[in-house]
Amino acid sequence: MNLNCRVTRVLRGCVAAWLLFPTLSWCASTPLPSLESGYRAMYNLDFSSAHGIFQQWQADHPQDPLGPVSDAAAYLFSEFERLHILEVELFTDNHKFEKREKPVPDPAARSAFEADLNKGDQLAVHVLSQSPQNSNALFARILENGLRGDYLALIEKRNLAGLSYMKTGRALAQQLLSFNPSYYDAYLAVGIENYLLGINPAPVRWLLRMTGAQTDKTEGISKLHLTAEKGRLLAPFARLLLAVAALRDNDRGTAKNILVSLSQEFPQNSLYRKELSRLQP
């Protein structure tokens, strides 16, 4: 297999794992209890409650782009649940990911998803034109990139297109963190790219860096731990990604501990229990 083909296959696997963990966040200086409860409902697969919370947030905060973008996340996650896409095993086995069947999306969910993202993008652009360092607006752009990439790679199977959104999200996260380093959930975008691309062989990492990607595995793990320990909305996703990383390193004990904690925190989410059962002797 030539190097270019190998890079393409590696990117597909990397994009898959990245897209399992779309970027969500919280601004440390602006408490968002309603948004937080919405995301927790989403983690528990209670999408009806999540939509209700996010739509109420939009009614109360009509200029905040995180409202519609968060609602878009609930539409996407409900599609992932319906289509059985979020399987950890899928993201630790590149062969299974490549051979998966193309899902059949729900047109109504797709339309609502796009409408929310477009609304959030318009609001974010407007806010940033007046306040370039508005953390929530900038993070809405980061989240939007993650969600669009998720849909492209995991539903439409356009993996390389999804990779471009990953890099854009990481660059925006670095911009946000440069003036607001306490926006801990934003570190996830930096951590994911560095870890997922950093586990590749040296020649592949070199080619990836030529495209502007970041490939420092150690830096990636460090940033994931930072989000897992100090993040608010994204901490569960960071923990799940660390469990995936542990499984890829054959550290089943660490992965099991993380999945036990997640299953206890989100008892309605069958994904954690299902993946945990795979680790039982």
φ, ψ dihedrals at 76, nearest 5°: -65, -45
Buried b / exposed e over 157-168, threshold 16 CB at 10 Å, is bebeebbbbbbb
pLDDT in tens, 204-249: 666 667 766 666 788 889 999 998 999 887 888 889 889 988 888 8
Mean pLDDT to the nearest integer, 178-190: 92
Least confident range from 188-197, 209-218, 242-251, 254-263: namely 209-218
Q: For residue 20, how many C-alpha atoms fall within 13 Å in the half-sphere facing its CB?
A: 28
pLDDT at 22 over 60: no
Stated pTM of the model = 0.82
How many of the other CB atoms lie within 10 Å of CB of 192?
A: 30
Q: If you ran DSSP here, which 8-state letter would residue 100 be given?
A: P
What average pLDDT is seen over the chain? 82
Kindly report each contact of residues 235-243 with a partner whose C-beta sits within 8 Å and lies 24 or more positions away, as own/partner.
235/185, 236/43, 236/262, 236/265, 236/266, 237/21, 237/22, 237/24, 237/188, 238/21, 238/188, 238/191, 240/20, 240/21, 240/88, 241/17, 241/20, 241/21, 241/188, 241/191, 241/192, 241/195, 243/88, 243/275
The CATH label, of 1.10.10.10, 1.25.40.10, 3.40.47.10, 1.10.287.70, for the domain at 3-278 is 1.25.40.10
Looking at residue 34, its pLDDT comes to: 81
Looking at residue 281, its pLDDT comes to: 66
- Whole-number percent of the chain with pLDDT over 90: 47
Give the Cα separation of 23 and 165 in Å (integer). Answer: 11
pLDDT interval class at 27 (50, 70, 90): very low
Is residue 232 within 8 A of residue 37, CB to CB? The reply is: no
pLDDT in tens, 82-141: 988 877 655 666 666 666 778 889 999 999 999 999 999 999 999 999 999 999 999 999
